[in-house]
Structure 1
């Protein structure tokens, strides 16, 4: 067997490379929607699910909600997609946990970002939100619906 020189050996990325890359991409996307208004027609594509079915997907309004959050308009963001706004603290917690664990020494056991139970509960909540926002009594969950007249 040939022993390759050290410089030719494959180098591994630091374990924090993935969470840092995800954070940079997320921050870049937030900056983009802050400066390129998603409320102006033509700036972003229409939701394919909405175009095909005429119903709202769980993500409809999320881009406008993120834009409102970057302008510190929490109520406006909630009116676009209340579920996305409600999930932000949980996603932030899991992201920070992932980033923190990537800088810690490796353990003998594999760590996960979230327990599978929480991920199944999140999936169930997304499906329930998707269903309710498209029923007549859930019209207040439609993107841009006004809650206070």
Structure 2
């Protein structure tokens, strides 16, 4: 690969990373300033609207709002699965986008294995069923 191609790829990566950062900051500001439970700015869950039951993601917007205000207990009450999943999500982001896959290939292989994916799916399904039974 010549320098021009490598440089262009690097600029594209930086632009994408910058774009993602801008979207995250803008979204964070919106979620910090407005409460999803009180504002019509945020979409409602279609599954909950049609069935009256909670999906695994129900309460995630409120949980994000609470986390941004450092109200961990309220965030956990809104959606415990989201709060518990944050370390897993952050590790996966590090491994995928910040050089972790080169430093820790075995961890990445384990977190993205078929067994790990099925485990995450099972946890989501059990959470979905459990939150509607309690």
Q: Do Structure 1 and Structure 2 share a fold, with TM-score over 0.5?
A: yes
Alignment match, 2:35: 37
Q: 1:45 to 1:102 in 2, by over 3 A?
A: same
RMSD (CA atoms)? 3.2
Higher helix share: 2
Q: Deviations over 1:1-41 (max 9, x none)?
A: xxxxxx8x8x8633855983685234432222111221214
| Contact 2:36-2:65 within 8 A present in 1 as well | yes
SS at match of 1:134: helix
- 2:9 is paired with a residue of what secondary structure? coil
SS in 2 for 1:28: helix
Q: CA deviation at 1:82?
A: 0.5
- Segments of structure 1 that go 5 or more residues without pairing to the other structure are 1-6, 105-110, 139-149
Tell me by how many angstroms 1:86 deviates: 0.3
SS of aligned partner of 1:133: helix
The structure with the largest alpha-carbon Rg is: 1
Aligned length: 125
Distance 1:30 1:129, change over 3 A: same
Higher RCO, 1 vs 2 (CA within 8 Å, ≥6 residues apart): 1
1:77 aligns to what?
A: 75
- 2:132 corresponds in structure 1 to 134
